[in-house]
């Protein structure tokens, strides 16, 4: 195995494409795999598709034999798994694709690790803890997912740890909070705000807008992931958060202010999501304990993101 060669799944997606840039920038050989479903876009890879240390394969992670052959060909040391279905509303409508990618896909990758003795770095989510009205979750708290999406992510974590116990697979798991940044898919909340304002439509806000999310800049997230793979012992789990908890209404106000829109004239409250979690909140003491605290200014990152997404809408 080559510890400098990583297989990065979901490399044409939002977070995965930023991770590919981060790892390439720091000298890794990156083999990218993406099935190019609706959320994976070739244009997300424009900045690195021709990089001398990047190779791309269009492939479904559930295809065990293909992923095995790719890992053998490139002598992969780590499989870094960003490939996932992630939109909660879609999982409420139909969970089948979530089970396929988020559970069966992870099992396929683990079987590759079992066969080749390579390691897996699994990207989970803070949503596996469920909701809390007070306090924040640490890595040792019980998983209590409350929607089909987060249930599949929790199931994937259990698979990873079970393979570690049964087959001695080496792993790392991270549970990042809600990412934002350039290239985020239109279905997510921040791009929905920007799209609505650009079209002079009302921004749809679930319920009373008081649901709280912990907002993490995508470039901080992938920096933390690279730092963990380089500095953590194996078989550990880390929350990743810069502790920017805000209500959905607060985020909408921030974007309206950046774009010089009147908030009260720009929003509409709609029926709440089924089983809508009230507040996600996680601690980052464990991440800080291994030396990572390299988080960007939220105000600067949000300004960069809003202006960048506006530019993408105008392309």
Catalytic positions, please?
A: 126-127, 149
Give the residue from 254, 259, 250, 248 showing the smallest Cα distance to 302.
254
Q: Cβ distance 213 to 162 under 8 Å? A: no
Structure tokens at 176: 């990042």
Distance between first and last Cα of the chain: 42
Q: H or E element: which one contains 2?
A: strand 2-9
Longest dimension (CA), the chain: 58
Question: For residue 118, what are the contacts with CB-CB under 8 A and spacing of at least 6?
Answer: 1, 71, 76, 77, 78, 79, 112
Question: For residue 41, what are the contacts with CB-CB under 8 A and spacing of at least 6?
Answer: 12, 183
- Cα(158)–Cα(145) distance, rounded to whole angstroms? 13
- Cα(182)–Cα(38) distance, rounded to whole angstroms? 17
CA 65 to chain CA centroid, nearest Å: 26
């Amino acid at each position: 195995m080559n510890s400098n060669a990583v297989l990065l799944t979901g490399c044409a997606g939002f977070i995965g494409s930023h991770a590919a840039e981060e790892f390439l920038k720091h000298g890794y050989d990156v083999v990218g795999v993406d099935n190019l479903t609706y959320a994976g876009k070739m244009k997300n890879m424009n900045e690195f598709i021709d990089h001398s240390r990047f190779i791309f394969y269009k492939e479904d992670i559930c295809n065990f034999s293909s992923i095995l052959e790719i890992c053998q060909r490139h002598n992969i040391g780590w499989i870094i798994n960003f490939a996932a279905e992630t939109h909660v509303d879609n999982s409420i409508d139909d969970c089948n694709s979530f089970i396929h990618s988020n559970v069966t896909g992870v099992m396929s990758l683990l079987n590759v690790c079992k066969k080749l003795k390579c390691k897996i770095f699994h990207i989970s989510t803070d949503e596996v803890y469920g909701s809390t009205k007070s306090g924040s979750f640490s890595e040792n708290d019980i998983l209590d997912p409350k929607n089909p999406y987060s249930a599949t992510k929790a199931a994937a974590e259990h698979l990873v740890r079970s393979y570690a116990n049964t087959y001695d697979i080496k792993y790392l798991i991270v549970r990042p909070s809600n990412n934002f940044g350039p290239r985020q898919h239109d279905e997510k909340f921040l791009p929905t705000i920007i799209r609505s304002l650009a079209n002079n439509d009302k921004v749809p806000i679930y319920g009373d807008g008081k649901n709280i999310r912990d907002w993490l800049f995508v470039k901080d997230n992938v920096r933390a992931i690279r730092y963990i793979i380089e500095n953590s012992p194996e078989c550990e789990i880390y929350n990743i958060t810069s502790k920017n908890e805000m209500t959905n209404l607060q985020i909408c106000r921030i974007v309206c202010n950046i774009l010089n829109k009147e908030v009260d004239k720009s929003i509409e409250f709609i029926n709440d999501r089924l089983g809508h979690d009230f507040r996600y909140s996680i601690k980052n003491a464990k991440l800080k304990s291994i030396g990572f605290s390299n988080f960007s200014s939220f105000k600067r990152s949000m300004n960069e993101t809003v202006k960048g997404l506006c530019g993408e809408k105008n392309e």
